[in-house]
Structure 1
């Protein structure tokens, strides 16, 4: 994007503060009332209206992320297989399956099958294993950072790395917004459903403190480390790299390659299972409970994640931004409506007795029954606005900051519509009385 390494680090750290703020705000309903994501959605969209945003988060975003993370993990698996069996990388010769080689397709398929099988079990074992993986990933990243500084000749060459070849016409403030938007895109799905986690918090203060510290500390470490590793590796190997797996692949130390990629593999499986395939399967089950159970949901979501050819999402540095902007466009409006509804429209008040309605009863007077039309319209219009830049060249910048645009536009539209409906209902009531 044409900005200096130190500015990239700063932009990522600023992004962590923005994401933490978003998670805290959207997680307040969960920590205050102990409600999960499904009920949080119902409070904003209605019991029937909650199906659309639930589908966008649980199916569209989760399945897309499942495919992308499976492919990312398969790259690490491909590195291990290539180091152990160099001849494997020559299998198939010039064979190309819609942009992926035969060895790449084999590695992806094997890793995809492994993720699907673990998805069937619900990921309980890997959830426990994540407690071990957490500290290990820090050890690996810090070790790689030290290596990168050494091979680059110190921090000075890294911080003064020439970015003139990637110069951009965009002003620095816009580049910062684009980076913030991309990091928000990474957290758009779990951020929308954060109540599933905050409902178990001891207090709102606890979740505020926990999320702020966890995001800021981890992003301070990884913003520094990731930039240093990529630039240090690029200087050392003489080729500019943007994918950390490519840097590892060029190492000559087999044990180091296996340890580093092995940690990435296990971490990817853990997060992919709990954060993507399980939510997708449950959402598909919720949409068609009579025809789809959890196991069928896993199968359907997995097949779709393969069909979308996720390797296309990481063909180059630009394609991953397009993917993140698309996720942001889909879920930014949902987050905008949820936060606006909870904090401004209902002033942080939720009637739990009405929220947990018996759907078999007549609930025509229940305010959470049916579809919140204003929320629906705001979400759809916010989505249209945030993706408009992909079709109208003159406003391309809108799609570059899609989550932010979708969040703000949907929130404002929702407020205007609710104000209109409120006045309309009041006028109708007055007319009936007179």
Structure 2
């Protein structure tokens, strides 16, 4: 019988394409350990690590809110579940493929971008992922977390919910504004600390997530009159007219992809620690598939079961928790949601945003200033507007898809079709003291820029032209597909 360790070592020997000697040479050129390639001895994530990586991240408030929107798209509850499961396989393929450069060469996202867009050209897509998408998500996660906090405070101190009477600040009342500001400050504080401490909670947090949402699903099936009753439920007020089932499936896939657009674009940051490409491939695929299998059932069951039980169609899981009479149950559910939000917000949003701002303006902005700037912007965009109804969350996801889909398409085209899965590390980590005029990664990859910008503009058209709304609903898919094709055509004509 072959041990797992021996298998891992065998995989590393044949799969990892960076050596200790290369890294030592690159270090002499002034690169620090944060951006240097990870050699086999520094890879600490195997299949089981990747299996648990995304299991908890699937269960968050925006994801449940998105499912609330899916139920109004015209598909049956069973078809919504199937569409979510299909979406998980598409997301897994995206994460695995775009993470392949990281697992083979041990390079982080910043260097993966450089290999695609050039050392100067990497700044724009880095800004789109690290600033635009990260800050927008940071604001949205802060607001959804503040809603959970508001429920918890309201259960303990009901009078808090009536503070301010008629006070209204651009669509949010005083209790909501206080809860948002408090939670915003907490998340900003975690950003200052780098969020490293939160990673230690993962082993405890993930089981709690499944205990809470598993228990909620069982409760929902019971109060909803059984599984057959939930599957037979038909929401009123259909959001979409004249769209066939395949188009609605694509709309759901696009929305789920948009949820993962940011971590998917920077997948190399996670896969650079992989013991092998096989480990991240199997681990991430299993993590997302099983996580979404459970999520597909629990989310539909909770939202529909709660709606049947309370006699009101609910698309936000927090509204259901708010109606619970049991203070201990509601408190446990809210605490888990708050912990999940803080953890994912720190590692996935505020930290990348702060680092990207400091990278764009190294002489004026350091990491701490980046945290402050990103946090202030996330407040000013008034994220509570993104969760006003089931249409709002779709508009947000479509915007994220339009911004990051084109970047993903170019990255995949470059690595698989242009580079043929080969990266020259000696050129990628160019020596600033030498003449790099002939370096393939120097400057701006103009074809990549053209493909990204054209695809971004087209995929955003649906946001502004009502007759082209379908483009907006498929923004990530259209943006990624268009940028890939345009880039390959431009490269072939060169």
TM-score using structure 1 length: 0.96
- Aligned-residue offset at 1:100: 0.6
Output aligned runs, 1:100-249, within 5 Å. 100-163=172-235, 165-166=237-238, 168-249=241-322
- Aligned-residue offset at 1:361: 3.4
Output aligned runs, 1:60-99, within 5 Å. 60-99=132-171
- Aligned-residue offset at 1:420: 1.6
2:324 to 251, 263, 266: 251
Q: Distance in 1 between matches of 2:235 and 2:368?
A: 48
Q: Distance in 2 between matches of 1:58 and 1:149?
A: 40
Q: Distance in 2 between matches of 1:77 and 1:164?
A: 30
- Aligned-residue offset at 1:360: 4.6
Give the match for residue 112 of structure 2.
40
On the 8 A contact 1:4/1:163 being kept in 2, the answer is: no
Q: Distance in 1 between matches of 2:489 and 2:76?
A: 41
1:400 to 468, 473, 476: 473
Q: Distance in 1 between matches of 2:298 and 2:385?
A: 26
Give the match for residue 60 of structure 2.
none
Partner SS state of residue 164, structure 2: coil
Give the match for residue 301 of structure 1.
374
On the 8 A contact 2:235/2:313 being kept in 1, the answer is: no
Q: Distance in 1 between matches of 2:414 and 2:467?
A: 32
Note the residue ranges of structure 1 that are not aligned, 5 or more in a row: 422-434
Q: Distance in 1 between matches of 2:335 and 2:435?
A: 55
Q: Distance in 2 between matches of 1:319 and 1:391?
A: 15
Alpha-carbon displacement from aligned partner over 1:193-235 (angstroms, at most 9, x marks no partner): 0000101101111110001000000000011000000000000
**CA 1:252–1:203 in structure 2 vs 1: closer, same or farther (change >3 Å)?**
same
On the 8 A contact 1:158/1:228 being kept in 2, the answer is: yes
Partner SS state of residue 260, structure 2: helix
Q: Distance in 1 between matches of 2:400 and 2:119?
A: 24
Q: Distance in 1 between matches of 2:321 and 2:441?
A: 52
- Aligned-residue offset at 1:374: 0.3
Q: Distance in 2 between matches of 1:164 and 1:173?
A: 21
Question: CA RMSD of the aligned region, Å?
Answer: 0.9
Partner SS state of residue 366, structure 1: coil
Give the match for residue 424 of structure 1.
none
Output aligned runs, 1:275-314, within 5 Å. 275-314=348-387
Note the residue ranges of structure 2 that are not aligned, 5 or more in a row: 1-72
TM-score using structure 2 length: 0.84
Q: Distance in 2 between matches of 1:418 and 1:180?
A: 29
Q: Distance in 1 between matches of 2:466 and 2:184?
A: 37
Alpha-carbon displacement from aligned partner over 1:294-326 (angstroms, at most 9, x marks no partner): 100000000000000000011100010000000
